[in-house]
Chain A
Amino acid sequence: MIHPLFTHEIGSLAKPNWRVKAMRNRPLTDQDLDDAQEWGKFLDLETEELLEILQKRQNFTPEEKQKIVWYSSLMATRMLEKAGLDVVYDGEQHRVEMYEYPIRRIEGFQFLGHVRSFDNKYYRKAAVQAAPRLKELYHLHEYQVIQSFATKPVKIPMTGAYTLVDWSFDEFYLRGVEIGTREGRRHRREARARFLHDLATQVIHPNLKALYDAGARFLQIDEPAATTKPDEIDLFFQSLEDSVGDLKGKVFFSVHICFSDYRLLFPAIQTVEGIIREFHFEYANRDTRELGVDDRKRRGYEILKELVKYDFIAGVGVLDVHTDWIEPPELVRDRVLYAVEQMGTPERVFVAPDCGLRTRTWKVAYEKLRNMVEGVELAKQALGLS
């Protein structure tokens, strides 16, 4: 399935207004219907059924809502296919987002309120109040739906144990842990390790296993929180091992980390060689927009000099997901060529955006991805691969 300079996306896309409003019982506007029609046309999809449902404007039945989600999933998947990616997904159209969606499907958690991520962006945060147990396999249906209409291989991203733990409050494992003492510090770490082990083995692994059993062969573990606590890097890698378990070698596992100090992953990263195949990081966010393949112009890709020493494929983010600026293909080409030079071979380089594109419109996301694919083609030509 995989090949040099393989292209994929990283999880999320925006959700169309007609899907968001339908779920929230807010009335749809003419513009929302026009958007659905225009995207359907652009993607060569039959959308009569969808438009008929949307004409109702509000008060959709559960069955109608299910159909609306199905269409948003289909459209998002087709959009990635049309952009030319090698492996596709539906941009989390079945999910709320990457934290709340899984947590609501795990026993033992209670949502408490919002905390800030940055600026005026917040996320709802839960506390673990009992040992976590899986309520339901929460990505299997999504995989089966996407697989039913995808014309390219499907990748399923899944929030990893460490990130779910780090983004949650702990009212269970930390119970009774003292402050202001040396013992307290040690007990805090032990509590964290127990929380991670339980979540990895009782929640993440069963989900991954179910996806494997259903035929999924490319699974992405999202761990944006991986380097949050430098003295827990060993716990992070242990949680990856626990999550993968007996699926080692059976599935292509990619780990996505972003907006982090990647240096902290080394050298402990070697503990998951042979278990994880690809490490995908965000690079474009910290890079210049100048063309060229020298260290200064490609300063965002510095960590590749470290990653090359270990047995992994480098998933390189070449699109900044926090700007509407469309990266020209030539810039993508140079970023890819630089990555190939650092990794020594195109076989050790995969290409993707920095992170999920959920904060961009579909139009911007599509244009960025299309240019990304075009830039990869330019890089292949430069390398004599096409």
Chain B
Amino acid sequence: MELYVTLNGKYPRSESLIRATRDYDRGRIDSTALNHVYEEDYRALHDLQRDWPWVSDGLLNWQDLLRPFAEVIPGTQVLGLVRYYETNTFYRLLSFPGLNLQGLHETWVSKYFRFGNLAILPGPALFARFSEGLSLPQIYTLLQETMALLKAQGSRVFYLQEPELVYRGNSELPPGYASFIQEVRKVIDDGTLIVNPYFGSVLPLLRELLQLEVDGIGVDFLTNAIEDLIEAGWDPAKGMLAGVVDTENSYQEQAEDLQAVLTQIRETLRPRFLVLTGHADFEFLPRSVADRKIAFLQNVKEVLA
């Protein structure tokens, strides 16, 4: 069984970059100085993922998981704050005037996907939750086109972040979701596609999720229990993005405990591949703690491998 470690969602900015973004907002430094700090942070994040097969730029310059799409569609308004699920992080509601992909081009990709082959994107349900003005079919089109462009620009792995699918305990996927995934499947061809629902139990949706033409499914193991997945009938043909460290708390998980959990997953659920990551975005941790948790996952992975 293939075993990886990857980032999950947005990665936290370093304390230096945090300081620089504040200084930039207050007019204390110019964009050149800010970009210099960004580059340093990208380098550090690149180094953190050295030799990993799936590498992300951590979305360091994204204000939230939807914000770059405000630049894709001209006339998009950036509105008030909306809490991001059970966190103390807030998104801004995007109000789209309609579907017009004028801003979806290589320059946008190079601005928001700085390096790596792992593209982390908002899933359609998440996108709909934090925006208005686009129908679900229009959101499907927007994301398909985005992934097509990203594939053409070198992305090979796609995570669709989808807490909205499980957070409210829904037992059905949104209308047209399976067809959307089928279309994406065609668009990304031999790329790897993972739908990543977190902040909720996957059980009510598990049957439908397993039927999607995705390579893997995310499981937040702070919310989900292995015994529940066994009883519900996990499909070993699917890979698993396993959220096994707590990204909302700074305590250090114990290696022996995690090894036991992962051994149980491998022996009982037997996913096609197993990706170790945080239960949600790493951004909810300060950078030093996130780096420590990533190093911890890497060590556990090496022991298990």
Q: Point out residues on A near B: beta carbons under 8 Å.
A: 112-120, 122-123, 125, 127, 166-167, 169-171, 174-175, 178-182, 184-185, 188, 225, 228-230, 259-261, 285-286, 322
Interface bits B1-31 vs A (CB < 8 Å: 1, else 0): 0000000000011010010011011000000
Is the CB–CB distance between B90 and A117 below 8 Å? Answer: yes
- Residues from chain A with a CB closer than 8 A to the CB of B225 are 180-182, 184-185
**Contact A120 to B244, CB < 8 A, known contacts A112-B288, A261-B83:** no
Is the CB–CB distance between A179 and B244 below 8 Å? Answer: yes
- Residues from chain A with a CB closer than 8 A to the CB of B255 are none
Is the CB–CB distance between B221 and A180 below 8 Å? Answer: yes
- Minimum CB–CB distance from B76 to chain A (whole Å) comes to 16
Q: Which of B25, B64, B91, B284 contacts A115 (CB 8 A)?
A: B284
Bound CA span A179–B92, Å: 32
- Minimum CB–CB distance from B235 to chain A (whole Å) comes to 18
Bound CA span A230–B264, Å: 30
Is the CB–CB distance between A116 and B13 below 8 Å? Answer: yes
Q: Which of A127, A169, A182, A285 contacts B81 (CB 8 A)?
A: A285
- Residues from chain A with a CB closer than 8 A to the CB of B77 are none
- Residues from chain A with a CB closer than 8 A to the CB of B248 are 169
**Contact A115 to B89, CB < 8 A, known contacts A169-B250, A178-B257:** yes
Instruction: Give me 19 A-to-B residue pairs in the complex whose CB atoms sit less than 8 angstroms apart, sorted by A's number.
Output: A113-B15, A113-B287, A115-B12, A117-B88, A118-B64, A118-B89, A119-B92, A120-B63, A127-B250, A169-B289, A171-B249, A174-B251, A180-B225, A180-B264, A182-B225, A184-B225, A185-B225, A228-B83, A259-B82
Starting from the known contacts A115-B286, A127-B251, A229-B86, 5 additional A-B residue pairs (CB-CB under 8 Å) come to A116-B89, A169-B250, A180-B224, A185-B225, A261-B83
Is the CB–CB distance between A180 and B22 below 8 Å? Answer: no
Is the CB–CB distance between A115 and B224 below 8 Å? Answer: no
Bound CA span A224–B288, Å: 26
Bound CA span A178–B64, Å: 30
Is the CB–CB distance between B88 and A228 below 8 Å? Answer: yes
Is the CB–CB distance between A112 and B289 below 8 Å? Answer: yes
Is the CB–CB distance between B286 and A112 below 8 Å? Answer: yes
Interface centre among A115, A117, A178 (most CB of B within 10 A): A115
Q: Which of A114, A180, A259 contacts B83 (CB 8 A)?
A: A259
Bound CA span A115–B290, Å: 11
- Minimum CB–CB distance from A168 to chain B (whole Å) comes to 9
Q: Which of B13, B15, B244 contacts A180 (CB 8 A)?
A: B244
Q: Is B226 an interface residue (CB 8 A)?
A: yes
Q: Is B261 an interface residue (CB 8 A)?
A: yes
Interface SS of B by simple majority: mixed
Is the CB–CB distance between A115 and B283 below 8 Å? Answer: yes
Q: Which of B12, B92, B251 contacts A170 (CB 8 A)?
A: B251
Interface centre among B24, B88, B257 (most CB of A within 10 A): B88
Bound CA span A181–B63, Å: 34
- Minimum CB–CB distance from B97 to chain A (whole Å) comes to 18
Q: Is B80 an interface residue (CB 8 A)?
A: yes
Is the CB–CB distance between B226 and A114 below 8 Å? Answer: no
Bound CA span A212–B224, Å: 45
Q: Is B285 an interface residue (CB 8 A)?
A: yes
- B: interface residue count bin: 35 or more
Q: Is B227 an interface residue (CB 8 A)?
A: yes
| Residues 78 to 109 of chain B near chain A (Cβ within 8 Å) | 80-83, 86-92
- Minimum CB–CB distance from B29 to chain A (whole Å) comes to 12
Bound CA span A118–B251, Å: 24
User: Which residue of chain B is the closest to A114 with respect to CB atoms?
Assistant: B18
Bound CA span A49–B130, Å: 51
Is the CB–CB distance between A169 and B90 below 8 Å? Answer: no
| Residues 194 to 228 of chain B near chain A (Cβ within 8 Å) | 221-228
Interface centre among A116, A167, A185 (most CB of B within 10 A): A116
- Residues from chain A with a CB closer than 8 A to the CB of B222 are 179, 184-185, 188
User: Which residue of chain B is the closest to A99 with respect to CB atoms?
Assistant: B88
Q: Is B246 an interface residue (CB 8 A)?
A: yes
Is the CB–CB distance between A114 and B286 below 8 Å? Answer: yes
Is the CB–CB distance between A125 and B81 below 8 Å? Answer: no
User: Which residue of chain A is the closest to B227 with respect to CB atoms?
Assistant: A182
- Residues from chain B with a CB closer than 8 A to the CB of A230 are 86
- Residues from chain B with a CB closer than 8 A to the CB of A228 are 83, 86-88
Is the CB–CB distance between A285 and B264 below 8 Å? Answer: no
Bound CA span A286–B132, Å: 14
Q: Which of A117, A120, A174, A182 contacts B228 (CB 8 A)?
A: A182
Bound CA span A21–B226, Å: 54
Bound CA span A21–B93, Å: 35
- Residues from chain B with a CB closer than 8 A to the CB of A122 are 18, 22
User: Across chains A and B, which 9 residue pairs bring their CB atoms closest together, nearest first?
Assistant: A113-B286, A169-B250, A118-B90, A120-B21, A180-B221, A171-B251, A182-B225, A229-B86, A180-B261
- Residues from chain A with a CB closer than 8 A to the CB of B228 are 182
User: Which residue of chain A is the closest to B287 with respect to CB atoms?
Assistant: A113
Is the CB–CB distance between B251 and A125 below 8 Å? Answer: no
Bound CA span A69–B225, Å: 52
User: Which residue of chain A is the closest to B93 with respect to CB atoms?
Assistant: A286
Is the CB–CB distance between B226 and A180 below 8 Å? Answer: yes
Bound CA span A11–B271, Å: 51
Bound CA span A82–B82, Å: 33
- Residues from chain A with a CB closer than 8 A to the CB of B288 are 112-113
- Residues from chain A with a CB closer than 8 A to the CB of B92 are 118-119
**Contact A225 to B88, CB < 8 A, known contacts A115-B284, A122-B18:** yes
Is the CB–CB distance between A181 and B226 below 8 Å? Answer: yes
Q: Which of B250, B258, B285 contacts A171 (CB 8 A)?
A: B250
Bound CA span A189–B21, Å: 36
Is the CB–CB distance between A166 and B90 below 8 Å? Answer: no
Interface centre among B80, B265, B289 (most CB of A within 10 A): B80
- Residues from chain B with a CB closer than 8 A to the CB of A185 are 222-223, 225
- Residues from chain A with a CB closer than 8 A to the CB of B279 are 179
- Minimum CB–CB distance from B300 to chain A (whole Å) comes to 13
Is the CB–CB distance between A179 and B261 below 8 Å? Answer: yes
Bound CA span A122–B18, Å: 8
- Residues from chain A with a CB closer than 8 A to the CB of B64 are 118
